Structures are given as structure tokens and as C-alpha cells.
Amino acid sequence: MSHFDYIDQQILLQIRKDARKPFSQIAEELKISNSLVHQRIRKLKENEVIDKAEFVIDEKRIGYKTKSYVGIRLKEARYAKSVVDDLAKIPEILECNYVSGNYALFILIFAYDNHHLRNILYEQVHQIDGVAGTDSFICFDTNFKRQITLDSLVKGQSI
């Protein structure tokens, strides 16, 4: 996709609010054709601007009461890929990022409680070949969570 224009931005704003919103309703609200909405969304998907539409599950309501960010130090940089592959096998780890600073990786874990978190760390994460150590940061509460803003996108900006 060579350009990202006002129509693309407005479509994204609409589906970000409600991914289940009918394309016909988006077209009506934006005063464009239904086929144009379909075409634009298809192009946004092809160019991986839109990854997927999904329901958001409230982790606390299904029993995951402990949220922790964990910094992981590696024995050596060469272990990074294999460590990430092994971390991906642990279902309670929802996010894994390469980072700069004291850690090589930063992960997000949801656990039922602190005891469950301890088991995940000691029985799984620390057993991965290449992990030198971890530091955990318990999250007491999430004040806000949002997606990237679309307000700063301007007509004709390349993506």
C-alpha cells in the first residue's frame, strides 16, 4: 500500500471501535459505497495494517488475578531465538519482546495467583536453556490500555 489516506483512517477508526460493525453501516456513516469499504479493508489486510479482529477477554474475570512483567537476562545473545521459541510454548505468557537495557527480553505473564506465577517462573522459564535470570514486576492494576492513535496520520502518508 503506497498511501494511507483519510478514508483508510476513518475506516480504521470505525472498526477499532467495533470490529463486528457491518461494512454497510461503515459505508453509510462515511457516505461512501459499501464496495469501497470492502476494497479498502481487503487492501489494509493484504498490507498487514489490519492483522485480525478478535474478542478481548478480561483475564481477571476468568481467574487470572496476577499480572507480571518479567525481564529476562540471557547467558549469551546466541540463545535469544531458542529462548523465544520455548517461551512461546508457555500459554500464560501472552507477550514477548526484544528490549534494550539490562534485559534481552521482556515478557507479560498472567497467572492465577502469586504461587502460580512462581511455578511458571521456576518450573518453566528458568528451566529454559540460555536463561540466566529474571526480574519480575507485579502489576497491581492497569490504569488504561489503548491502541496506537490514528489522529496523527495525514493524507498521503506512506505505510
pLDDT tens string, the chain, 159 residues long: the values are 446 788 998 999 898 888 889 999 999 999 999 999 999 999 999 988 888 877 888 899 999 999 999 999 999 999 999 999 999 999 999 999 999 999 999 999 999 999 999 999 999 999 999 999 999 999 999 999 887 777 655 444 544
Q: What is the pLDDT of residue 3?
A: 66
Q: What is the pLDDT of residue 152?
A: 58
| 22: Cβ contacts below 8 Å, ≥ 6 apart | none
Torsional sign, CA 152, 52, 124, 68:
positive
**Contact status, residue 64 vs residue 111, Cβ threshold 8 Å:** yes
